[in-house]
Amino acid sequence: MTLLLELSRVSKRFHAPSEALALHDVSLAIAPGERVAVVGPSGSGKSTLLAIMGLLERPSAGSISFNGRDVATLSDRALSRIRGRHIGFVFQAFYLLERLTALDNVAEALLYAGTSRHDRQQRAREMLAQVGLSSRGDHYPNQLSGGERQRVAIARALVKSPTLLLADEPTGDLDPETGAAVVDAMLTTAANASVVMVTHNPAVAQRLNRLVALNSGAVVSDGRQAL
């Protein structure tokens, strides 16, 4: 079986505002359909790891392959194409466009997919229905609760049917009950995607079947867990 994503001895060093080694010699493989929680204290390199996995940052050392293809040395344009076609992102801060309705925020993710406006809107409606927001498509972000906004963000990430969904503290700004519902919506809707989720919440981490722990930029444990 071809791995979806493989990091081999990846390190990342930042030079500004000061010299810092964010990741050190990290090797990690993600199989198709796998559900992975990434945990660790603040400053342990979790968000940097997610950015490298999402091809948003280049490693300072090591190699990355996506679907069996070495991508570490590809051009920015080539990496952008891979991200656009295969990777969805969900962040703690939602990053919805305030001037667009929930429906248009989701449809916007398909703008460069070569589909008509009608098809983009239809797919966006279907995705909003999957995350339980059929009746909220014409609402603007400031008219939605935090949990609803995160569901819109999930729908936007998944409307293009990515093979990899990366989530960085998606429940960090939500109360426990709302956060649990958002994780339910994410894992159910992303049924065909691999999911890698950074979280500080042990209850959220326990919802995924693999737990990767970081400390000081290095993987200190990596194992399966019973659901």
The closest of 31, 6, 8 to 193, measured between CA atoms, is 31
- Pairing relationship of beta strands 218-224 and 210-215 according to DSSP bridges: antiparallel
Rounded mean pLDDT, 93-100:
94
Q: Which of 3-12, 162-171, 183-192, 209-218 has the lowest mean pLDDT?
A: 183-192
* DSSP-based helix, strand, coil % in the chain, nearest 5: 35, 25, 40
Q: Which of 12-26, 27-41, 77-91, 142-156 has the lowest mean pLDDT?
A: 12-26
Q: Which amino acid is at 28?
A: L
Rounded mean pLDDT, 150-174:
92
Instruction: Write b or e for each residue in 29-65: b if 16 or more Cβ atoms lie within 10 A of its Cβ, otherwise e.
Output: ebeeebbbbbbbeeebbbbbbbbbbbbebbbbebebb
User: CATH number, domain at 119?
Assistant: 3.40.50.300
Confidence of residue 225 (pLDDT cuts 50, 70, 90): confident
pLDDT at 172: 87
Mean pLDDT of the chain: 92
Residue 84 above 70 pLDDT?
Answer: yes
pLDDT at 155: 94
pLDDT at 192: 87
Q: Determine the 3-state secondary structure of 124 from DSSP.
A: helix
- HSE value, Cβ hemisphere, 13 Å, CA-based, for 83: 18
Q: Number of folded domains in the chain?
A: 1
The closest of 124, 125, 171, 128 to 147, measured between CA atoms, is 171
The pLDDT tens digits of the residues spanning 114-150 come to 788 999 999 999 999 999 999 999 999 999 999 999 9
CA 216 to centroid of chain Cα atoms: 22
Domain that holds residue 41: 5-206+215-224
Rounded mean pLDDT, 5-28:
91
Contact 10, 51 (CB under 8 A): no
Residue 210 above 90 pLDDT?
Answer: yes
Residue 45 above 90 pLDDT?
Answer: yes
pLDDT at 1: 65
Rounded mean pLDDT, 52-57:
95
